[in-house]
């Protein structure tokens, strides 16, 4: 809370990702915050380079799929990348991943 505006409104400090939201709220819409440890986010620091980019590497294979094009079968793997959630996993050519990251395949049966 930044400031009380009259008897029924508050001016709140909102995070940058809510910059498009008007930050004055009616008292009736506000609720007391109750701490919930299940809502804590894991903070994993990312090592940034001078150009503010960071190195990503595949963590594990989540799924496999074979695409069929005419008489060819093309195997794909769904890759979980470092610094990303499962929702951001990408489908990659299995042959390319095997060539560049063979360690991903060494633990599979």
Pairing label, strands 24-26, 72-81:
unpaired
For the stretch 11-22, pLDDT in tens is 998 888 888 899
- Answer whether residue 8 shows pLDDT above 80: yes
Render the burial of 43-66: b for 16+ CB within 10 Å, e for the rest. Answer: eeeeeeeeeeeeeeebeebeeeee
Contact 90, 60 (CB under 8 A): no
DSSP of 83-102, one letter per residue? T--GGG-EEEEHHHHHHH-T
For the stretch 40-81, pLDDT in tens is 877 777 788 888 888 889 999 999 999 999 899 999 999 999
Q: Which residue has the higher pLDDT, 43 or 38?
A: 38
Share of the chain above pLDDT 70, in %: 96
* Domains of the chain: residue spans and CATH: 3-33 (no CATH), 58-106 (2.40.50)
pLDDT at res. 3: 87
* Predicted TM-score (pTM) of this structure: 0.55
Helix residue spans in the chain (DSSP H): 94-100, 103-106
């Amino acid at each position: 809370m930044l400031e009380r505006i009259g008897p029924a409104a508050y001016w709140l400090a909102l995070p940058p990702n809510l910059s498009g939201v008007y930050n004055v709220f009616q008292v009736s819409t506000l609720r007391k915050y109750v701490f919930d440890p299940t809502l804590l986010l894991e903070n994993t620091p990312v090592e940034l380079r001078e150009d503010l980019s960071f190195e990503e590497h595949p963590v594990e294979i989540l799924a496999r799929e074979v695409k069929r094009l005419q008489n060819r079968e093309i195997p794909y793997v769904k890759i979980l990348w470092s610094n990303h959630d499962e929702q951001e996993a990408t489908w990659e050519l299995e042959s390319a991943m095997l060539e560049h990251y063979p360690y991903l395949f060494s633990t599979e049966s």
